[in-house]
Structure 1
Amino acid sequence: MQRPGPGLRRQAGAARAALRRRFWATVPARLRLLRAATVLLATALAVLLTVAGLAAHGTWDSVAERDAPRTTSAADLDLALNDMDAQAANILLSSGDAGKGRLRTPYTKAVGFYGDARREIGHDLRTLAVAAQGDRSDEKTVEHLTDDFAEYQELIGRALENDGHKGGKAAALADYRRATDLLRNELLPAATTLVTSNDAAFEAEYSSARSTLDAQLCTALALGVLLLAVLGVLQWYLARSFRRILNPGVLAATVCTLLAVILGTQMLSASSGHLRVARHDAFDSVVALSRARAIAYDANADESRYLLDPQYREHYEESFLAKSQQLYGINGATIDTYDDQLAITWRAYERDHHDLRFTGEFRRELDNITFPGEREAAEKTVRAYAVYERDDRKARALLAAGKEREAVEFCMDWKPGTSNAHFGAWMAALDQVTGINRAHFDASVREGRAAVSGLLPWAGGLLLAAVVLTGLGLRPRLAEYR
């Protein structure tokens, strides 16, 4: 290959020298290069913050309008299914023989609660059907749930119709057993699956959003530091080249950039922090407490089933104890020893909040105490639960003593001191601690959105101002070379 001649080498050298003079070797060239670097870095930072802000807004929309509602709807469905079945048992327990010997107040309340639960299930199924669109697994689960619920309603309707006929209690009980088997084998497992899958989807979106925000924060800091460094070099070069201490335009641009970096990083870190509070500090407790409420209604239904169906009493007693262990798990406890061991382990916790000798949904909540008033409300809930558990043992003792009607009245009446009254107090306490966490979840969503909408426009405006001020500050210096 022939080497280029001296003439070509001289031309190439002259071209390189011209490029150096144009882009770096002369003072105007250096000023233009630093100005271009400032514009590019400021634009890149502004674009990054805008993209991050829009993504954060989208995340908050998903959290508030899709992820949280579909998880709580699935938990509400679980609860309403248990409540509907419990109220069906209560209707059969309190109805008497075709109305003869009816316990009027318990019967009226059970009929009302039954209708409320049925309407709630219909609403939750519609909500979950919309939320499941695009997820074939969840779509199939909701479809099966809807079909099974229709069959369940038919069986309960037949049981209630038979119960309205004189001597129809046995036929009604047979239909109720079939309905309850369908509930336990199909409806409740499907509802639990939806709670788990929707909560897992929420967690996956949360993890992805947090990772993205952390990466965006690091990138924004790097771009911000680089932009401030370029402005610092520009200020130093102006002072050196023009014998001036400071250039007012570049100084103002530096201040604007510093404020923009502070506001932008604050927006990203605040979004990440509010997202963590919403998801883990607040919503984890909401899920645990929603599960606890659904389990509580199922346990209460087991108590009614125990009174209603003598043939299955041993099974329902075991089921009630299993639910109790899910709420407040005590290793090795039986139905006869549970109350004493609950009292012992709870006293140990009250002496030392780190001495947690129990498991279950209440333990999950007590491990996640975050907000003012939350611990007191959670402890009140456990104490109310202990009262309800003692009531269960009293009802079983009445039944064992042959006082069946007294046991039914104690469990189903709403007078002060009865089991239903204490169950209502327990649910009110549970609602209080759930309400604390829901309120902080909602507040985190509001504050997360406010951080984006409040800080992003300021950060973007300051970066634009920095670009303009840099141009204005350099304009008189560049004019000297025209």
Structure 2
Amino acid sequence: MTAVQQSPPAGPPAPATQAPPARRGSAGRLRHAPEKPPAGVARLLPRTVAARVRALTALSLVLLVVLLGIGWAAVANAREGVRVIGHDAGPQVVATGDLYFQLSDMDAQLANALLIGDAPGGGRDQAVARYDDNRRKAGDALLKAAKLADETTENNTARDLLDALGRYERLAGQALLLDRQSPHPSGPPSQQVTELYRQAADLMKLDLLPKAYNLTLDNGTLVRHTYEDRRSAVLMGRTGVLVAGVALLATLAGFQLYLAKRFRRLLNVPLALATIGTLVLVGAGTLMLSGQAGHLRKAKEEGFDSILALSRTRAISNSANADETRFLLDPGRADAYEQVYLSKSQTVLYLKAGNLTQYNAAVQKDLSFEPGRAPFLGFLGTEANRPAESAEQKAQLVNVMNGVLRDYRKVQANDRRMRDLVKGGQRDQAVAARGAAGADFTRYDRSLQALIGIHRKAFDDAVRDGDGGTSGWYAVLPAAGAAIALLVLAGVRPRLAEYRWSK
């Protein structure tokens, strides 16, 4: 009987994802199917020890280049800021500030010479000599400003100033010559002389002084923008150096641990030296950039700003002093000169007052102050409220500032006395009092110069420190970078050779 072959019972089909069965080789061992290659981001990661070592080496070198590039750019920004503030636009602003003072003093001395006339012992020759001295100084300051000018508008303004100064000198010379031909031992000069002086004074007030101030404003704006941009760039560079440095240090530390674990070496000496070198470079670079930001701030805020404001204070004070002379010299414009004097006085030291009498009474009150709490405004109020860097500097500034305020009160008291004499019909006595008050104004002006001198020293010190702070860094950065890179390569090469030998 023939056996009937039965088919195997039907069962569920094998899943489609079931792995193919292992095959037996000739020796009876199982052979597994080859692994699938990694997909996605995993495909980009190094898969061998040598590839990982090379990748970490490349990452370290790239971060090193980034660190050096950020440091180089930050040093360049610091040097540019010091150059503009300390050697270019900053000195030009100071020069134009001096120019403004010399021009205003020229007009003041011209008014003094015309007011004194031929009065015996009046000091006319001294006033003319000071006028000539200011004229020479104004010419020198103008030439210096023209040399420092690097913009077309600045050159044009300087050229216009030279032309206007020539016209002013011509009018002043005519007024002085005509006044000598028509002597007046007492009383105001002739109407013709007064008219010539009015033309010269209007030229000074409406043309020369505004142009000189425009030069100051143009370069002052350049200094302010340069300070804001460069100091911000230096601080950003410092942050970039820290971030890039920390990333490089973390990479080098991780690299050290990987080599220690994979090659069973406790320490890779060249790599450790590279890490220490990076730490020193990042620390030194951060400190240097912090110092440069501080030098820029000191040069701008503690030096330049105060020098500029006090130079303006000195020039406006001198112009107001000339308005006292004009008040006596030109009775036809006496009311206008008195109002202008009040306006200029409040610009220098502002106290609330409706007229000159009220202002003088307010000035004579106690003006003692604590830095940051001055009971007055104006240029002197701004100076009194400036923060001091140290207790010693604070005490010095307060002491000199109190001297300025004391001398300013004396100047205002003299002005009140002179005007009271005029109102009392004692013009000759007022002219004599005006001459005697010159010594008090000179003392006030010297107090301002002493205050300017403190800030000029701070400015010069900050610029000198800024110049020295980046000295040598253009050599330090590439040299340090080359040394660190060589140490990294020196630490990696034996391990790669060891890996190839072990294979």
TM-score interval for Structure 1 and Structure 2 normalised by the shorter chain: 0.7 to 0.9
Write the distance in 2 (CA, Å) between the matches of 1:341 and 1:198.
Answer: 36
User: Which amino acid counterpart does residue 65 of structure 2 have in structure 1?
Assistant: T
CA distance in 2, matches of 1:470, 1:425: 68
Name the CA shift for 1:396/1:142 in 2 (closer, same or farther; >3 Å).
Answer: same
Mapped to 1, the partners of 2:353 and 2:225 lie a distance apart of: 36
Q: Is the contact made by 1:278 and 1:444 (CA closer than 8 Å) also made in structure 2?
A: yes
Conserved 8 A contact 2:60-2:248: yes
Which residue number in structure 2 is paired with residue 390 of structure 1? 413
Q: Tell me the CA shift for residue 14 of structure 1.
A: 8.4
CA distance in 1, matches of 2:87, 2:433: 42
| Cα distance in 1 between the residues matched to 2:128 and 2:183 | 20
Q: Which residue does 1:90 correspond to in 2?
A: 112
Matches within 5 A, 1:371-390: 371=389, 372=393, 373-390=396-413
| Contact 1:302–1:316 (Cα < 8 Å) also in 2 | yes
TM-score normalised over the length of structure 1: 0.88
Structure 2 residue 227 is the aligned partner of structure 1 residue 206: yes
Report 1:25-424 matches (<5 A).
Answer: 25-96=47-118, 101-103=119-121, 106-136=123-153, 138-167=154-183, 169-170=189-190, 171-344=192-365, 346=367, 349-350=368-369, 355-371=373-389, 372=393, 373-412=396-435, 418-424=436-442
Instruction: Report the 3-state secondary structure (helix = DSSP H, G, I; strand = E; otherwise coil) of the residue aligned with 2:261.
Output: helix
Q: Secondary structure at the match of 1:453?
A: coil
- In terms of mean alpha carbon deviation, does 397-406 or 308-317 score higher? 397-406
Q: Secondary structure at the match of 2:461?
A: helix
Give, in angstroms, the shift of residue 260 of structure 1: 0.3
Q: Closer, same or farther in 2 for the Cα pair 1:49/1:355, shift >3 Å?
A: closer
User: Offset at 1:324?
Assistant: 0.8
Per the TM alignment, residue 360 of structure 1 is displaced from its structure 2 partner at its CA by 0.8
Which residue identity lines up with residue 158 of structure 2 in the other structure? Answer: V
Contact 2:323 2:340 in 1 (8 A): yes
TM-score (norm 2): 0.84
Per-residue CA deviations over 1:387-430 (Å, capped at 9, x if unaligned) read 11111112223333444343323322xxxxx3111111111111
Counterpart contact for 1:82–1:294, Cα < 8 Å: yes
Give distance in 2, aligned partners of 1:56 and 1:93: 53
Structure 1 residue 441 displacement after superposition? 0.9
* Equivalence for 2:32: none
Cα distance between partner residues in 1 of 2:343 and 2:166: 28
Partner of 1:467: 485
Which structure 2 residue ranges, 5 or more long, are not aligned? 1-35
> What is the DSSP-based 3-state SS (H/G/I as helix, E as strand, rest coil) of the residue aligned with 1:329?
coil
Q: Deviations over 1:269-311 (max 9, x none)?
A: 2111211111122211111101100101101111111222222
| 1:345–1:356 Cα contact (<8 Å) kept | no
2:81, 2:429 → 1: CA distance?
55
SS of 1:54's partner is helix
Query: Residue 77 of structure 2 contacts residue 234 of structure 2 at CA under 8 Å; is this kept in 1?
Result: no
Give, in whole Å, the separation in 2 of the partners of 1:457 and 1:133.
30
Write the deviation string for residues 193-243 of structure 1: whole angstroms up to 9, x where unpaired. Answer: 322222112111111112211222222111111110110111111110122
Structure 1 Cα separation of the partners of residues 68 and 359 of structure 2: 62
Identity %: 34
Q: CA offsets, 1:246-267, max 9 Å, x none? A: 2111111111100100111122
CA distance in 2, matches of 1:456, 1:266: 16
Query: How large is the RMSD of aligned CA atoms in angstroms?
Result: 2.5
Residue 458 of structure 2 corresponds to residue 440 of structure 1 = yes
* SS of match in other structure, 2:227: helix
Question: Which stretches in structure 1 are left out of the alignment for 5+ residues?
Answer: 1-12, 413-417
Aligned partners of 2:381 and 2:113: how far apart in 1? 34
Aligned residues: 455
* Residue identity in the other structure for 1:216: G
Which has more radius of gyration? Answer: 2
**CA distance in structure 2 between the aligned counterparts of 1:148 and 1:353, rounded to whole angstroms:** 42
DSSP 3-state at the match of 1:368: coil
SS in 1 for 2:353: coil
Larger mean Cα displacement after TM superposition, 292-301 or 469-478: 469-478
How far apart, in 2, do the equivalents of 1:54 and 1:315 lie?
53
- Distance in 1 of aligned mates of 2:261 and 2:434: 90
